[in-house]
Amino acid sequence: MASEVTYAEVKFKNASPTAVIEAPPEKKKHEHHPQKYPPWLPWLISLLLLLTCIALVVVLLVVPFSHSSKQPTALQEKFTAWECDSAVSENKGQGWICCPKGWKRFQNSCYFLSLDKMSWAESEQNCTGMGSQLVVINSEEEQVFLSKQIKQGTRGPNFYIGLREEIKDQWQWVDKTPYNVTAAFWRTDEPSPYDEEKCVVMHRDSEIPNNWNNVPCNRHCRICEGAAVTV
């Protein structure tokens, strides 16, 4: 006969209750507060934007002139206001060719036609002071262009060019370009043989292109010429 198994619940005195393990207290999460910026920060940002704009203007307007040649031309050193026309170069493609504001451009030269009058020596000094010289005419095309220019406006009838008689019957350009009698544009019966008439002007009311006339070196208008700037 099989024996029966009896289960009984036995409680022991002084038995300790189940130990409760306490977890370490959680660290308090930092509360997120919106970051506060100093009141001068918007002004600083505005200033930086302004300086950036100025830098862009310098890059677009000034830098091209500084790189247009190894050394700045004499006109570049004297003038800050310029007028430019588009130009196409075989080597550089599209570009700009510039003259000082108020000057006339023909090919690669800039011309200043004065309103006031000076002696020939004063005229040459005035042109030099502007980074140019009294005009030296090298072609009939240039002569025709300038002859048309002096007919405009209400300037005086005579305009000095950079040609004078330093020695009797020896005409000399201011830049030492050799004088070529076959490429001269004298009026009929000019140059006259008078010793006191050592300087040369273009006469406004003469027929184009032959309007050169030798005169005494007193007060007349003038034409200055300088090299145009290509950028």
| pLDDT confidence bin for 29, thresholds 50/70/90 | low
Give domain status of residue 99, yes or no.
Answer: no
- Under the banding of pLDDT at 50, 70 and 90, the label for residue 48 is confident
**How many independent structural domains does the chain possess?**
1
Instruction: Give the mean pLDDT of 209-221.
Output: 97
Tell me whether residue 53 is in a domain. Answer: no
- As a whole number of angstroms, the distance between CA 87 and CA 95 comes to 5
- Return the exposure string of 159-170: e unless at least 16 CB atoms fall within 10 Å of the residue's CB, then b: bbbbbbbeeeee
Question: Which range is most confident: 6-15, 79-88, 152-161, 176-185?
Answer: 176-185
- Residue 63 carries which side chain, given as an amino acid letter? V
Question: For the segment 101-141, what is each residue's pLDDT rounded down to a tens digit?
Answer: 999 999 999 999 999 999 999 999 999 999 999 999 999 99
Residue 92 in domain: no
Residue 220 belongs to domain spanning: 112-225
* Joined tokens for residue 101: 């504001």
Residue 189: give its domain's CATH number.
3.10.100.10
Assigned domain for 166 exists: yes
Question: What is the pLDDT confidence band of residue 77, given thresholds at 50, 70 and 90?
Answer: confident
Assigned domain for 195 exists: yes
Asked if the structure places residue 90 within a domain, the reply is no
For all residues of the chain together, what is the average pLDDT?
A: 81
Mean per-residue pLDDT, 207-218 = 96
Q: How many angstroms separate the CA atoms of 203 and 8, rounded?
A: 143
**pLDDT(72) > 70:** no
181 within a domain of the structure (yes/no): yes
pLDDT at 170: 93
Question: Does 193 fall in a domain?
Answer: yes
